[in-house]
Structure 1
Amino acid sequence: MPSSPNPLSRGPRVQSFQPPQGDLTIMAGSGNPLLAQAIADELGVRLTPCEAHQFSEGNIFVRILENVRGRDVYLIQGVHSPVNDNFVELLFWIDALKRASAQQVTAVIPFFSYAKGDKKDEPRVSIRARVCADAIEVAGADRVLTMDLHSPQIQGFFSVPVDHLYGRHVISDHIRKMNIENLVVCSPDVGFAKEASDFAKLLGTPVVIGNKMRKDHSETVEVLEVIGEVAGKNIILVDDFTITGRTLISMAEVLKKKGANDIYAAVTHGVLSKGAAERIGKSPLKKMFMTDTIEAQIDPLPDNIEVIPVAHSFAAAIRSIHDRTSVSTLFPEKRSKK
C-alpha cells in the first residue's frame, strides 16, 4: 500500500484557501493627519481614534483608543521633518498594533525621507534606507505602501511586500487638463531620466535631459548642459522631490537662456526647507506642482506653488490590497505592457 504523506515534509505546499480578511481600518499618526482623513473619506470609513504625545525631553508615547484585534490596519505615517521623530513614532505605532493583535499592519509611508541613503557610495557610511527597512520589519509591519521612493530598488531592502505608487499619474492628469502647447518634459539630471521618460509618455511629449554637478552634500548644484531642443518650447521640469528648490531654479535659468518659453516644475514630494518656498516664488518657474504627501510646511507657499492631492491614489491602492486585487492595474503604463 502506498505510504501516506508525511505531514512534517518540507516539500512545497499549496494553500487552497485565503485567510479571512479583517475589517479595513485606517489610523493616522502625527505625520499626515489631513491625508489620512482624506483617505478614510475616500474609502468611506472613519479614522480609528488614537493619540501620540511627546514629552518635554523628547520621549514619544503612542496609544490606540479602541480595540483593533483581528483587523487589517493601514497606518498612515510619513517619514518627513521632523524625520527622526516621525520615524520612531512609525515604529511605535506598528509595535502597538501588533501587541494589540491586529491581524495585519500595513505601514503607509507617503514620503520615506531615508530613501536617499540607498547605497554605500563613500567610505565608512551607513546605508540608512536598509537600516530603516530592517527596523520597520522588526517592529512588525506586514506590508509597506509608499509613493515615489528616491530609488525604486529600495523595495528590495524589505522582505515583506512593498507596493510602490507613482505621483506622476496624478500630476500628469492635472497637467494634461491645462492643454499646454509645445510641451517638453525635462529631467534635471541623468539619474531621473528613466522616470522623466515615463512622465513624458503619460503626457505624450518629448523629453530632454539636464547635466548637473553637485560638489558636496549641500543642495548647491551647477547645471552644465541640457541635452535636447528647448528653444520656443514650454518646459516642465520633473523630479521626485525638492528641498531647497535650487536644482529646479538653476535648471530653469539655463532653459530660459536657451530660449525656452514658460517653465513649470513638478515634484511628488515638496520637502521645502526654510526659505525654499520664497526662493521658488521669486524664480523663473511659472508654476510648480507638488503633491500633499508632506502637508506641514515651514513657510507659507507662494502663488506659483500648487498642491495636488493624492488621497485617491492611496485609497485605491489600499482597497486593492484589502480586496486582494492587483495594485499594478492602477498604473496605465503597466497595463499597456501586458
Structure 2
Amino acid sequence: MEICLFAGNANVPLAQAVAERLGVGLGNALVRRFADGELHVQIRETVRGRDVYLLQPTSPPVDEHILELLFLADACRRAGASRVTAVVPYFGYARHDRRASGREPVGARLVADLFRTAGLSRVVAVDLHSAALEGFFSVPLEHLSAAPLLLEAARPWVSERSVIVAPDLGAAKLADRHARLLRLPVAVVHKTRLSGEDVSVHAITGDVRGRSPLLVDDMISTGGTIEAAVNALLSAGCAPDIAVVATHALFVGPAMIQLPALPVLRFLVTNSVAAAAACPALPIELVRLEGLLAEAIRLLHDGRSLEALLAHAAAASPPR
C-alpha cells in the first residue's frame, strides 16, 4: 500500500516539504472556488487502495480550510482510498471546547464529528490548545508535540537568569513542562480577558525581577495576551531581553500592529501555519515541523508506534 500526500490551500509549502522528506511527490488535487464562492475539489490521480494523508492546518480563514479538508477526505474515500488520515498541524476551534455562557455551541466537538462523517480514519495534530480534545474524537487522534524542537532551538540563548513565564493560567502547565526540562523557575501572569483583543493583568505569581523572561504559549493569535504579559513583566522589573516561544503563530487582527512595538528580542515559532513565515516586521526564528510530521506519517504507514513523538511523552522527557 503506497503513501499518497495531498494538501489543501492552508500551508502548501509545509506540505511540499513533508512530501520531500517522505520521498514522494505531492498529490495532484484541484482545490478552488467557483465564481459564486462554492468550493470545488477534484483528486486528479488514482488513490484506490492507497494510504492517503491530507495535510491541512485549519488556520484562518478557519471555516474555508476546514471545508477544504472535509471535501478532500470525502473525495479520497469515494475514490477508494484504503485509509485517509488528516494531518492538522494547527487545529482551529480548539478553544471552543466548552460553553462559556450556556447558549453556545461546542465547536470543537462539532468539527470532530464532521471529521468522522467525512470518512477520516485518523487525525494527527500538533500541540492542541487542550489535550482534553482527544475525548471529542470518535476516530483515533495522535497528539504530537513540538516542544522538544522548540526547546532545542531555545537552549543556546537560555541562561541561569532566565525564567519561564506563562502569559495566562491556561498556559501554566505548558510553562511548568518547559521549566522542568530547562531546569528554570516559572512564573505565571494572571489576566482577565476584557474582549477578544483586550486583556487586563492583575498579578504575577513568581519572581521575575532582574530575570530574562521566556514567555511560552501554544499559540499567538491577536497578540493581546502577549502584549499585556510583556508590559506587566516590565513593570515588575524583569530584564529587557524578553523572548516568546509558541507553536502556532496566527498573527491575526491587530497582531502586526501590537507585536512589533513590543521590546521582544525574538519570537520562536513553528511553520505550522503559513502566517509565521510572512512577518518581516518581527524578529522571528522559525522552527520547522516537516521532519516531525514526515516521521509521524512514516510510522503510521508502517504500523509502528508514535510514542516518542506524542505530547505526553514530551512532557515526561528528562532534562538534558
| TM-score, normalised relative to structure 2 | 0.93
Select the residue among 22, 47, 52 that pairs with 2:26.
47
Q: Could you tell me how far 1:65 is from its partner in structure 2? A: 1.1
**3-state SS of paired residue (1:116):** coil
Mean Cα deviation higher: 174-183 or 292-301: 292-301
Highest RCO, 1 vs 2 (Cα 8 Å, sep ≥ 6) = 2
**3-state SS of paired residue (1:280):** helix
* 1:89 corresponds to 2:62: no
Mean Cα deviation higher: 129-138 or 147-156: 147-156
> Which structure has the bigger radius of gyration?
1
Q: Could you tell me how far 1:88 is from its partner in structure 2? A: 0.7
* 1:244 corresponds to 2:222: yes
Distance in 2, Cα, partners of 1:246 & 1:238: 14
Select the residue among 122, 130, 136 that pairs with 2:115.
136
Q: Could you tell me how far 1:278 is from its partner in structure 2? A: 3.4
State the one-letter code of the partner of 1:47: L
Q: Could you tell me how far 1:302 is from its partner in structure 2? A: 1.5
Q: Could you tell me how far 1:82 is from its partner in structure 2? A: 1.3
Select the residue among 158, 178, 182 that pairs with 1:203.
182
* 1:253 corresponds to 2:225: no
**3-state SS of paired residue (2:53):** strand
**3-state SS of paired residue (1:231):** coil
Q: For 1:38-83, what per-residue CA distance to the aligned partner results, in whole angstroms no more than 9, with x for missing partners?
A: 1111122211111111112210011111111111111001111111
**3-state SS of paired residue (2:264):** coil
Select the residue among 284, 299, 308 that pairs with 2:287.
308
Q: Could you tell me how far 1:133 is from its partner in structure 2? A: 0.4
1:62 equivalent in structure 2: 41
Distance in 1, Cα, partners of 2:206 & 2:158: 22
The 1:250/1:335 distance shift into structure 2, 3 A limit, reads closer
* 1:214 corresponds to 2:214: no
1:110 equivalent in structure 2: 89
Select the residue among 8, 15, 18 that pairs with 1:29.
8
* 1:233 corresponds to 2:211: yes
| TM-score, normalised relative to structure 1 | 0.89
CA contact (8 A) 2:246 2:269 kept: yes
CA contact (8 A) 1:253 1:284 kept: no
Distance in 2, Cα, partners of 1:107 & 1:158: 13
**3-state SS of paired residue (1:113):** coil
Q: For 1:79-129, what per-residue CA distance to the aligned partner results, in whole angstroms no more than 9, with x for missing partners?
A: 111111111111100000000111110011111111110012212100000
State the one-letter code of the partner of 1:165: L
Distance in 2, Cα, partners of 1:133 & 1:152: 14
CA contact (8 A) 1:278 1:301 kept: no
Distance in 2, Cα, partners of 1:135 & 1:303: 36
> Structure 1: 5+ residue runs without aligned partners?
1-21
* 1:283 corresponds to 2:262: yes
Distance in 2, Cα, partners of 1:329 & 1:91: 29
State the one-letter code of the partner of 1:196: A
**3-state SS of paired residue (2:87):** strand
**3-state SS of paired residue (1:46):** coil
Q: Could you tell me how far 1:199 is from its partner in structure 2? A: 1.6
**3-state SS of paired residue (1:316):** helix
Mean Cα deviation higher: 303-312 or 106-115: 303-312
Q: Could you tell me how far 1:135 is from its partner in structure 2? A: 0.5
1:322 equivalent in structure 2: 301
2:137 equivalent in structure 1: 158
